[in-house]
Chain A
Amino acid sequence: MTILEMCQWLQDTSIGTQIRESVWTFPILEGTHLLMIAISVGTLLTMDLRLAGLLFKRQKVSEVTKAVMPISLFGFTVMFITGVFLFLSQAVKAYGSIYFKLKLFFLLLAGINALVFELTMRRTIHSWDADPVPPFRARLAGISGMILWAGVIAAGRTMAYNF
């Protein structure tokens, strides 16, 4: 089974068909998806700005992270689930869209960026937690995170123009 055939199969499942043919489900899913992007990425932004040494300089990095992470993860979870449903309903179109691939690519890079940070800088956080401007690699992770998420959002929005 090729990926395209798999997309066709996904789209033809009863759930994919129901969403596509509904009057309300699709707009509600998409509205929720958008709102959750704003919640998760918007709150993540405060954390990234702290990592970049641009905001909340008097707060510890771990304090800002602890405060913001649960909200961001909640938003991300709902965004991800609604995103999967939206994809299901238009899998073939999404497969053919360069912007959808670009979006997944940015999403993957954002994930790698976060993972690298967790595996390296997070382990030494106690030594720079209170620094107003964190070490270079932490700032880099914060700035990369902001750019990559902006890419995810812009690619996602552009995708819809080619549908």
Chain B
Amino acid sequence: MSEWLAIYTAQTKRAFAVWLQYRAAAIIWMIGFIVQPLMYLVVWTTVAESSGGSVGGYTPSDFAAYYIVLMIVDQVTYTWVQHEFDYRVREGEFSRLLLLPIHPIHEDVADNISYKVLTLIVLVPAVILMMWFFNPTFNTTWQNAALFVPAVFISFWLRFFMGWVLGMLAFWTTRIAALIRMYSVIKLFFSGRLAPLTLLPPVLFAVARVLPFMWELAFPVELFLGRLSADEIWLGFGMQLLWTGIMFIAFRLMWRRAVRRYTAFGS
């Protein structure tokens, strides 16, 4: 246990040092992260105001609350590993990782944690400003807030393993960038980022429910906002765990095959 703590401490420190080298780039990146939900918030607020004060039961203050919480969840659970694999496979970076007596995923987790810490510098002031400017309304109970924590935690792992599974396709195809692009578009639509999912036509909402994306983003957000019934909450946790389980198994199976493939072909 203490070895793992030492490994994670050292890796997180190193990742933090690397991020600090790129602080300007990191801050620009983080600002980009805030601009997107802000944009949707502004659009939906305008739509709500022009259609008599609400859309699908969302008032401008509801939209504000929705997108502020969404921004926080998205930032906390965000992962970019899928974008790294192409480079890792092509440039033989995996040779370095495979020589180490430790699974490469740990380096990614540590990297992610350190980035999240750095993110607070931008996230906290952004949340405060948006609270002050958009006047959100929260109907959050303490139960909602308490359940929100494990929901975000599971969401992190779900996204993380999904990122690895997607990224590992780079071992089989050189067209990984196109796949990631498609994945991002589907995700934008079905995760609740473009609009709260209850605003979707029923058919699309039904599709969203069987895909993993709404459980990683919309679910924790609506849970926090007190928009979900007890049944919906349990269903949400069930779906989150199911998809995380699927992704974890896929990750294990694919990793074994990916290593076999990599060591068969070399780099």
**Do A and B form a real pair?**
no
Interface on B for A, CB 8 Å cutoff?
Answer: none
